[in-house]
Amino acid sequence: MPILSLLPLALLAAPLPEPRAAWVGRSTLAPDAEGRWIPFDLTPGNQIRFTMSVDGRPVTAILDTGVSYSVLARRYADAHRLDVRAEGRATVIGGSVAIGRVATRTIAIGAVTRHGGSLAVADLPAAATGSALAVDLLVGRDLTAAYALEIDYQARRFRLLRSGSTPFSGAVAPLSIAPERMIYFSAVVIGGRTVAPMVVDTGDGSAITLGAAAWATARPAAGPVTTTVSFGLAGAVVNELAILPELRIGTAVARDVEVRVEPAGGFSETIGVAGRIGSGFLQRYRVLLDPTAGHLLLGTTSATDSPALRSTSGLLLALSGDRLKVLHVMRGGPAAADGWREGDTICAVDGTRIGAAYATSALAGWSAGAPGRVVTLDGCDGTRRRLTLRRFY
């Protein structure tokens, strides 16, 4: 189980000020594309992380359909002494960030090779993936939208195919590329009402995120509300959090879906959308995103009917060396009632010390454990506290 609640990366929403050809270059698809699967792992923040190449060098990347133009880490550009041209600022979750542009010769991602074009350049902090390791690149719409993008979350692999390919059958939902924002758009139905446009954002580790106006429509269909924290390139944002008993996307019916709610004037409202469909929702399915063909496919998997993972502790945590750090105390939860605060640290859980392997160990599941369980938490300041888990949203 991820240490953090699922954390979204940034959405680089503003179209960039260069002629299109200067950014996108010329892409080709290999004839053996069907066999060019790209293996990936999920970051602690629930994003798709994999390896590809830029100008012949291997880079660690995240697949992020919520980014209009792929973004190279400024750290990487500096390390390789790349010529970065300043391009102003772009809108992201949490505010805005300075961006640059760097020209590229070749970019290779699975069966696709791009010749020429550019990458945006911005700071990509490790916190945006919920990991101690920063990535080099966010792979956005400019590298993927011309193709059918198939994501097999169960097998931890994806591939790029010719548009119009249908490698599996499934529920069908509309999909397009927004002409102004240049990102993937679809729609959902909540409580019988259509909520649109919704960004389909594989770089957002959460399930469903709604802006304030869309939430006003969806609120009667949701359960009790608590709070959570999200991270974008511009920093942390506190959102409300609830569970929707049912949500429809095209012909797919999903039950027990986590929804995050942005405050009035939040990111979704800033860029003129209703919200986002993130990786936390998409990973219930086998997914095919094909905006050129105008649809997405959602194939049933063993995870399709899995209930939303709920915190029963009310603590959202990050691993920092040999300790857990409290990033957020959820409103109305057991931790809030017991006086826990942001910044508190934990060095042992039920007598087991926190180590580097914690994130992938069975121990990490304690914060969403069975209601009624009493967990002993040793603070790094020498204090010992007991927390009784319960369901609160």
Residue 320 lies in a domain: yes
Task: Tell the burial category of 167 from Cβ atoms under 10 Å away from its Cβ (0-12, 13-18, 19+).
Answer: middle
**What is the pTM for the complete model shown?**
0.88
Domain end residue (candidates: 300, 332, 366): 300
Q: What pLDDT was estimated at residue 364?
A: 92
The count of other CB atoms within 10 Å of the CB of residue 381 is 8
Q: Which of 143, 161, 179 is the last residue of a domain?
A: 161
26 and 149 housed in the same domain = yes
Residues 25 and 157 in one domain: yes
Does 319 lie in the same domain as 291? no
Enter the tokens of residue 261. 């709610």
Q: Residue 241, class by beta-carbon neighbours within 10 Å (0-12 exposed, 13-18 middle, 19+ buried)?
A: buried
Q: Are 185 and 177 in contact (CB under 8 A)?
A: yes
Domain assignment of residue 7, yes or no: no
Looking at the fold, whether 286 and 369 belong to one and the same domain comes out as: no
293 and 325 assigned to the same domain:
no
**In a domain? residue 233:** yes
Q: Decide: 157 and 170 in contact? Cβ < 8 Å.
A: no
Give the tokens for residue 172. 């069908």
* Residue-level pLDDT at 291: 98
Q: Considering the domain boundaries, does residue 166 fall inside one?
A: no
Are 157 and 28 contained in the same domain? yes
* Whether 207 and 282 share a structural domain: yes
Please give the pLDDT value at position 77. Answer: 98
- Torsional class of 242: left (φ above 0), alpha (ψ -120 to 50), beta (otherwise): beta
pLDDT value for 181: 83
CB 358 within 8 A of CB 318: no
> Per the structure, how many domains does the chain have?
3
Q: 14 in a domain, yes or no?
A: no
pLDDT tens for the 393 residues of the chain, in order: 333 333 344 444 444 555 566 788 999 999 999 999 999 999 877 899 999 999 999 999 999 999 889 999 999 999 999 999 998 887 666 667 788 999 999 999 999 999 999 999 999 888 666 666 889 999 999 999 999 999 999 999 999 999 999 999 999 999 999 888 889 999 999 999 999 999 999 998 899 999 999 999 999 999 999 999 877 656 678 899 999 999 999 999 999 999 999 989 888 898 899 999 999 999 999 999 999 999 999 999 999 999 898 999 999 998 888 999 999 999 999 999 999 999 999 999 999 999 988 988 999 999 999 999 999 999 999 999 999 999 999
- Asked if 296 contacts 288 with a C-beta cutoff of 8 angstroms, the reply is yes
Q: CA 220 → CA 192, 204, 212, 309, 338, distances in Å?
A: 11, 25, 14, 21, 30
Position 233 scores a pLDDT of 59
Residue 267 and residue 320 in one domain: no
Query: Could you tell me the two tokens for 119?
Result: 């990458």
What's the domain range around 197? 171-300
HEC assignment per residue over the chain = CCCCCCCECCCCCCCCCCCHHHHHCEEEECCCHHHCCEECEECCCCCEEEEEEECCEEEEEEECCCCCCCEEEHHHHHHCCCCCEEEEEEEECCEEEEEEEEECCEEEECCEEEECCEEEEECCCHHHHCCCCCCCEEECHHHHCCCEEEEECCCCEEEEECCCCCCCCCEEEECEECCCCCCEEEEEEECCEEEEEEEEECCECCCEEECHHHHHHHHHHCCCCEEEEEEECCEEEEEEEEEEEEEEECCEEEEEEEEEECCCCCHHHHHCCCEEEEHHHHCCEEEEEECCCCEEEEEECCCCCCCCCCCCCCEEEEEECCEEEEEEECCCCHHHHCCCCCCCEEEEECCEECCCCHHHCHHHHHHHCCCCCEEEEEECCCCEEEEECCCCC
Whether residue 11 lies inside any domain: the answer is: no
How far is Cα 150 from Cα 290, in angstroms, rounded to an integer?
A: 9
**CATH code (residue 209):** 2.40.70.10
Q: In this structure, is residue 309 part of a structural domain?
A: no
**Is the Cβ–Cβ distance between 184 and 141 less than 8 Å?**
yes
Are both 252 and 357 inside the same structural domain? no
Task: Give the pLDDT score at 359.
Answer: 82
Are the CB atoms for 149 and 111 separated by under 8 Å?
Answer: no
Among the three residues 161, 188, 212, which one is the final residue of a domain in this structure? 161
pLDDT score for 356:
85
Query: How many Cα atoms are found within 13 Å in the side-chain-facing hemisphere of 378?
Result: 12
What phi and psi values does residue 325 have, to the nearest 5 degrees? -110, 135
Domain membership flag for residue 308: no
pLDDT of res. 4: 38
Token pair, residue 2, equals: 């991820």
State the number of CA atoms in the 13 A half-sphere of 176 facing the CB: 9
Note whether 339 and 263 are same-domain residues. no
Peptide bond into 197 cis (omega under 30): yes
For residues 201 and 87, membership in a common domain is answered with no
Q: Is residue 236 domain-shared with residue 214, that is, in the same domain?
A: yes
